[in-house]
Amino acid sequence: MTKSRGIGRGGARPGAGRPPNKPIFETPQQRQHYAGITSPVDYLLRVMRDPNAGVRRRDRAAVAAARYCRAKAAASKSAASDEH
């Protein structure tokens, strides 16, 4: 018989997780940085437009946000042909 490794024995662990009533943003700089962001897409657009962010980071944010910002070309063409 093999010794159990504890796999599948989840549950609460003492000291795990964020302490209760602790704010997510601790410093005024963090609060200011995330002010006005209402969705993950807003965050991606902010990163994409940030001139201080690295080029690779801005490119990855643009790729990730693009699928939520633009309609697919095939879908818009078929909608246009349905009108005629």
Is residue 18 situated within a structural domain? no
Is residue 37 situated within a structural domain? yes
What's the confidence (pLDDT) of residue 12?
80
Mean pLDDT of the chain: 77
Could you tell me which residues come within 8 angstroms of residue 3 by beta carbon, excluding any fewer than 6 positions away? none
Domain range enclosing 53: 28-77
Is residue 13 situated within a structural domain? no
What single DSSP character describes residue 16?
-
Is residue 67 situated within a structural domain? yes
Structure tokens at 62: 């643009």
pLDDT digits (tens, 9 = 90+) for 36-58: 788 888 889 989 999 999 999 99
User: Using CA atoms, how far apart are residues 70 and 36, in angstroms rounded to an integer?
Assistant: 22
Could you tell me which residues come within 8 angstroms of residue 36 by beta carbon, excluding any fewer than 6 positions away? 42
Is residue 46 situated within a structural domain? yes
Is residue 38 situated within a structural domain? yes
pTM exceeds 0.85: no
Is residue 72 situated within a structural domain? yes
What's the confidence (pLDDT) of residue 15?
81
User: Using CA atoms, how far apart are residues 61 and 44, in angstroms rounded to an integer?
Assistant: 5
Query: What parts of the chain have a pLDDT lower than 50?
Result: 1
Number of domains in the chain: 1
Q: How many CB atoms lie within 10 A of CB 41?
A: 15
